[in-house]
């Protein structure tokens, strides 16, 4: 046997992001190697970055939403019913992040789509 010192603790944390970020219960894990599972029903904004600030040695980040989801149709059904390119892109963003795009994000997406359309029109000429 070789005695190897444990340089850091290991922590496996699970919970909603506000609790993980604010609760004194997790202070001990701030200097540990962490696996963190976020259980918020919707994906929190900047979850990884915010957790990394409190737990700089986070090694594994998992999103595992809890609660009922509002989705009643499959993603394939939803994209088949998209009326515009913007509808399609906005729905994709919601699907990936498990929360809708903000008004500002929708505006940026609309600007990007308009730019792509202008470039395509110039290429045709």
pLDDT string in tens for the chain (125-residue length): 888 888 889 999 999 999 999 999 999 999 999 999 999 988 898 999 999 999 999 999 999 888 755 445 566 777 777 788 888 888 888 877 777 889 999 999 999 999 988 888 888 77
Q: Look at residue 5 and tell me if it is in a domain.
A: no
| Residues 87 and 51 placed together within one structural domain of the fold | no
Helix, strand, coil share (%) of the chain residues, nearest 5 = 50, 15, 35
Question: Could you tell me the pTM of the whole model?
Answer: 0.55
Here the tokens at position 104 are 């500002």
Q: Look at residue 68 and tell me if it is in a domain.
A: no
| Residues 57 and 79 placed together within one structural domain of the fold | no
Structural domain boundaries enclosing 23: 10-63
3-state SS, residue 5: coil
Number of domains in the chain: 2
Q: Look at residue 59 and tell me if it is in a domain.
A: yes
| Residues 58 and 19 placed together within one structural domain of the fold | yes
Instruction: Return all residues near 99 (Cβ < 8 A) that are at least 6 apart.
Output: 42, 43
The Cα angle at residue 17 between residues 97 and 55, in degrees rounded to 5: 110
* Domain stop point among 18, 35, 63: 63
């Amino acid at each position: 046997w070789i005695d190897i010192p444990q340089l850091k603790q290991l922590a496996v944390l699970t919970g909603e992001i506000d609790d993980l970020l604010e609760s004194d219960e997790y202070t001990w894990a701030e200097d540990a190697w962490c696996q963190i599972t976020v259980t918020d029903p919707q994906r929190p904004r900047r979850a990884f970055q915010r957790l990394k600030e409190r737990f700089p040695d986070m090694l594994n980040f998992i999103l595992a939403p809890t609660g009922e989801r509002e989705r009643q149709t499959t993603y394939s059904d939803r994209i088949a019913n998209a009326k515009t390119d913007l509808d399609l892109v906005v729905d994709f963003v919601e699907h990936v992040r498990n929360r809708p795009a903000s008004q500002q994000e929708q505006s940026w997406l609309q600007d990007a789509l308009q730019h792509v359309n202008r470039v395509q029109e110039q290429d045709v000429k």
